[in-house]
Amino acid sequence: MELSAFTYTVYIATTPERTWETLTSADMSPLFWSGCAIESDWRPGSRVKLTREGVVRSSGQVLECTPASRLSYSFIRRYLPEYESEGASQVTFEFEPLGAQTQLTLTHSGFPQDSKIRPVVAESWPIILSSLKTLLETGQPLSDIRRSAGQLVATAGGC
């Protein structure tokens, strides 16, 4: 028996292409992703890793990649044994144009019944995706997001 998937939809006043480029960029991601850089060549089967200050916090494999449309990767949190022992969950992003905007839907699924990761990512994703939206619309991410996140369980910001 698995816990339910976490789903979050955000609407961003930009194109799916720009949303895609920012979300998958190792240089841009730390700006909105609590200091985490996401790195991959985004080919199916390739490694995906999330690092903060050079330390790999999470990693997985690209499951599906259609630029500006759909991205899916497996996700294992590496930095605490209790997280790592949960094994892999799956992160999927879907990008759809809606008028002049992008509808970005995140689905994070595959959590075991006693998952310690699900509550953390459920807290983190709205912060990360709110900051991504702010960055794309204003040129600046939400500020101090990592220190702010430290007030919550969500220190890792889903990374």
Query: Binding of other proteins at residue 133 (CB under 8 A)?
Result: yes
Count residues near other proteins (CB under 8 A): 30
Residue type at 127 in one-letter notation: I
Q: Which stretch binds other proteins (CB under 8 A): 41-49, 53-61, 111-119, 140-148?
A: 140-148
Which member of 43, 82, 113, 143 binds other proteins (CB under 8 A)? 143
Q: Which of residues 85-104 bind other proteins (CB under 8 A)?
A: 98-101, 103
d(CA 148, CA 109): 26
Q: Which of 22, 40 has the CB closer to other proteins?
A: 22
Query: Binding of other proteins at residue 14 (CB under 8 A)?
Result: no
User: Least Å distance between CB 31 and other proteins?
Assistant: 14
d(CA 47, CA 45): 7
Q: Which of 7, 46 has the CB closer to other proteins?
A: 7
Transcribe the chain into DSSP letters: -EEPPEEEEEEESS-HHHHHHHHT-TTTHHHHTTTPEEE----TT-EEEEEETTEEEEEEEEEEEETTTEEEEEEEE-SSHHHHTT--EEEEEEEEEETTEEEEEEEEE-EETT-SHHHHHHHHHHHHHHHHHHHHHHSS--TTHHHHHTTSSGGGTT-
Which member of 4, 43, 45, 114 binds other proteins (CB under 8 A)? 4
Which member of 2, 11, 44, 153 binds other proteins (CB under 8 A)? 11
User: Least Å distance between CB 104 and other proteins?
Assistant: 10
List interacting residues with other proteins (CB under 8 A): 4, 6-13, 98-101, 103, 105, 126-127, 130-131, 133-134, 137-138, 142-145, 147-148, 151
